[in-house]
Structure 1
């Protein structure tokens, strides 16, 4: 089994995309150093960060023990999960059929479950102007995607049968389900899976990392949104 002697450098902020990587690193039990990228303060636009994440998005990971023993940096959470799974040969099946099953659900999260729920958060919570069409559009799509996940989990403990990077990628987006206007009681398979995963020590630790920093950012965003709304009403 591959061993990691030098810590990874994780550029992170406690969000659903960041949690994917903290969960994975905790599951692997490998050493890593956290460098907080405060997205509320604009850290993601700093030149040093852009060198490893040119799309100014976190998370990003630097592996000092990359291919051929040379450092490598990776951006995009899905790419990081795949890199770590390949390097340590864990949480991604070796056989092609099993690998495809995991990868397609990872792409489902990357292309749909994350972006659509993110838009739900934006228009439902943070947008300075409440646009009913946008709010309803993304809440409806969020509801549909939860239904897809609920069906996938029918009769299974994990999305593809065995615990994998697909589960790690998805769970963080379920954490703020109440903000998405989702009642998990309507999706019993998702609820069962979600509650079970949260009891895994690595998942609990990964989700808790930077919790205080996230709370400060959410409070600042809520205050800003309230200020904008107050100013609009005062006009």
Structure 2
């Protein structure tokens, strides 16, 4: 293998979706090199990257340990990594039923949490015109998604199989953003969604994930 690290991860310092892949790679102690794109320079739209990901978005990976296999879409990457490298099922489901539930939550994260939280963030901070109705809508959807999670996590510690899996990991990055930047420092997350708050903190206090979060915080401060 000509590369020093097993994986190349194309990502972005502020973009949540790349970090969820970093969390899993770190937890599984798989070595990787992060290539951080500058969105202002449209690195993600370069001809070189579009050959890897025609969608021109992050993240994407190259698995140098598997004939330079290329994959994009963050939750598809999570599934690929556990199917190929989590043989002990430390972070993945085992039974057919639990695998189905795992997919259910990965799809909910990709179709529910990511888009709604992202649109809330966009209309709150980046849209050129103030559109109060859009902010209100996506804040409501953000709270609805948190409510769905709360309804389940108030009855069980983890989403699937009684342990932390990629289903849980997939939610960390956007929740980090929602709890602070999107909803605001004075939003009563712990009071409104205590089970979600406890679940989130249980994951972000894990050494491997905590180190990734600290790396991101340090890079963003610079």
Residue 213 (structure 2) pairs with residue 211 (structure 1) = no
Matches of 2:104 and 2:176, distance apart in 1: 22
Would you say the 8 A contact 1:21–1:77 is kept in 2? yes
Query: SS in structure 1 opposite 2:136?
Result: helix
Name the structure 1 match of 2:57: 57
Residue 202 (structure 2) pairs with residue 196 (structure 1) = yes
Summarize the alignment of residues 31-70 of structure 1 with structure 2, pairs less than 5 Å apart. Answer: 31-66=31-66, 70=67
Name the structure 2 match of 1:165: 166
Long gaps (5+) in structure 2: none
Name the structure 2 match of 1:104: 104
Query: SS in structure 2 opposite 1:179?
Result: helix
* 1:138-164 Cα shifts (integer Å, max 9, x gaps): 011111111001112113222222110
Name the structure 2 match of 1:222: none
Long gaps (5+) in structure 1: 217-235
Summarize the alignment of residues 48-127 of structure 1 with structure 2, pairs less than 5 Å apart. Answer: 48-66=48-66, 70-89=67-86, 90=89, 91-127=91-127
Matches of 1:113 and 1:49, distance apart in 2: 26
Query: SS in structure 2 opposite 1:194?
Result: helix
TM-score normalised according to structure 1 size: 0.84
Matches of 1:137 and 1:50, distance apart in 2: 33
Name the structure 2 match of 1:8: 7
Summarize the alignment of residues 127-142 of structure 1 with structure 2, pairs less than 5 Å apart. Answer: 127-142=127-142
Would you say the 8 A contact 1:150–1:190 is kept in 2? yes
Would you say the 8 A contact 1:23–1:205 is kept in 2? no
Query: SS in structure 1 opposite 2:35?
Result: strand
Higher RCO (Cα < 8 Å, 6 or more apart)? 1
Name the structure 2 match of 1:224: none
Q: Give the Å deviation of 1:198.
A: 1.3
If you compute each CA radius of gyration, which structure gives the higher value, 1 or 2?
1
* 1:84-118 Cα shifts (integer Å, max 9, x gaps): 01001332212101111111101100011000000
1:6/1:213 CA distance change after superposition, 3 Å: closer
Name the structure 2 match of 1:21: 21
* 1:42-101 Cα shifts (integer Å, max 9, x gaps): 1111111111111110111000122xxx22100110111010010013322121011111
- The total of aligned residue pairs comes to 209
Residue 198 (structure 2) pairs with residue 187 (structure 1) = no
1:215/1:119 CA distance change after superposition, 3 Å: farther
TM-score normalised according to structure 2 size: 0.88
